Structure 1
Amino acid sequence: MGKGKKLQVKKDFGEILDSSMDTMEETRFRKRNQNLMVKLSRKYHFNFTEVERLLLIYYKLSKESKDPRVGVDKTQFRDVLHCALDMTDDSLMDRIFLALDKGPSAFISMETWIASLSVFLRGTFEEHIHFCFSVYDIMGDGILSRDTMTNLLKNSIVSQTGDDDAEETARDMIEVITKKMDIDRDGKISFNDYKQSVVKQPMLLEVFGQCLPTRTDIHTFVTTFTNDIGKM
């Protein structure tokens, strides 16, 4: 996403957050979704009030979607990740979406919205390990092959730096990474290899590309719906 477009998306998102709703409309929305709010507050890392506020944001976004009757579309959600959480590694965005929502729909449900933000904003270390690996596991077989790792790194390097020698740089980095993370020395990184390595060295969590927002961006977004910053 170009800088100009990103600034426009950020402005649009800010306007949506700041927009007010008709009192009756808001009341109807809350009443209609009260049972869902209770369910989601029990299932994810938000209390009832936080779920309610996040779903109101969802509802405001949905009114600007391709089909407001269905909900927030994935393009909108991608823009939210870009502008609100500064997740700008385009090479991984499709993988991130697949890890969050494996359904074929072009829209995301209210539960997927809450579940995704739960992982991004308040996910446990264990949840982050599972999430990041699922993003990197392109083949879905629980294994990161050397080719997969090289492609992930190459795409990430190109996305962030535009380096013309990204493939060569990636191959050099793979040698270092496999020495650290290929615990059973079979030339691949299994989930267990990845988890054990990340537990020992947490900085390896996003070694193949950014899957999660930074603490600064989390803090900024969390303040839009709660004062309880201590749960970050």
Structure 2
Amino acid sequence: MAGDYGDWLDASMDIMEETRFKKRHKPLIQRLEKKLHFDYVELEALSIMYYKLEKENEHHGQGKRERGVTKIQFRDMLHCALDMTDDNLMDRMFLAVDKGPSPFITMETWATTLSLFLRGTLEEKINFCFTVYDIMGEGVLARDNIFHLLRGSMVSQGGEDADESVKDMIEVITKKMDLDRDGKISFNDYKQSVLKNPMLLEVFGQCLPSRMAAYSFLTTFTHTPPTL
């Protein structure tokens, strides 16, 4: 339950405006509290962040007002607040969290994604990262897919030399992660490899905020100081 910390979440909002907002979204927050890694007060704070971004983006068209946080806004937030700068993977990440055609993300998607990024379990992160890497949903990462992932994440040294470096990396990674030696990395190969060595979680590109970035962002809204 919300205590004194959540009585007035944002001093830049009118107290009546915030009270109406909290009352309107109480059912959603109660539902999210049961399945995410945030408590009620933290979810209220995150919903206020969403609401402020939503207000910035309000526009009118054909007599109908559209409201919501756009994927572009969310992308900018991830870039600035969570230091997620791998543009090559950003589109894949959005497909992993929200496959809908709308340019907006819902408050539920907002909270669910931040729950994963900031406090997700290793298993949740394994599932997410593999989904990002396996953009076709085939359940395996073939060599050509791995090549494009690694090539896009590398700072190119130019032409053929960069490609050769990627090919060398593929040999090292597949030797380590292709547990059943079938020439591809299945979800089980990936999961078992990461469980054994968590450093391999983002071996094909950054899908998650750094530990320090997550810590810094958490301190802006949580009443429970996170530990590094």
Does TM, scored on the shorter chain, surpass 0.5?
yes
Rg larger for: 2
Letter in 2 for 1:27: T
**Aligned counterpart, 1:65:** 57
Q: How does 1:97-136 map to 2 (within 5 A)?
A: 97-136=94-133
Partner of 1:14 in structure 2? Answer: none
Aligned to 2:5: none
Any stretches of 5+ residues in structure 2 without a counterpart? Answer: 1-8, 60-64
Distance 1:30 1:231, change over 3 A: farther
Partners of 2:87 and 2:177 in 1: how far apart?
25
Structure-2 residue corresponding to 1:7: none
TM-score of the pair, normalised by structure 2: 0.89
- Among 24, 29, 35, the alignment partner of 2:21 is 29
- The 10-residue stretch of structure 1 (72-81 or 167-176) with the greater mean CA deviation from structure 2: 167-176
Count of residue pairs brought into register by the alignment: 213
> Normalized against structure 1, the TM-score is what?
0.88
- The answer as to 2:31 corresponding to 1:39 is yes
Match of 1:194 in 2: 190
- Give the superposed CA RMSD: 1.7
Q: Is the 8 A contact 1:178 1:189 kept in 2?
A: yes
- Provide the identity percentage: 64
Cα distance change of structure 1 residues 66 and 153 upon mapping to structure 2, 3 Å threshold: farther
Mapping 1:129-144, distance limit 5 Å: 129-144=126-141
1:178 aligns with 2:147: no
Question: 1:114 Cα shift?
Answer: 0.4
Runs of 4+ that moved beyond 2 A: 66-70, 229-232
Does 2:224 match 1:228?
yes
Instruction: Give me the whole-angstrom Cα distance separating, in 2, the residues matched to 1:166 and 1:52.
Output: 47
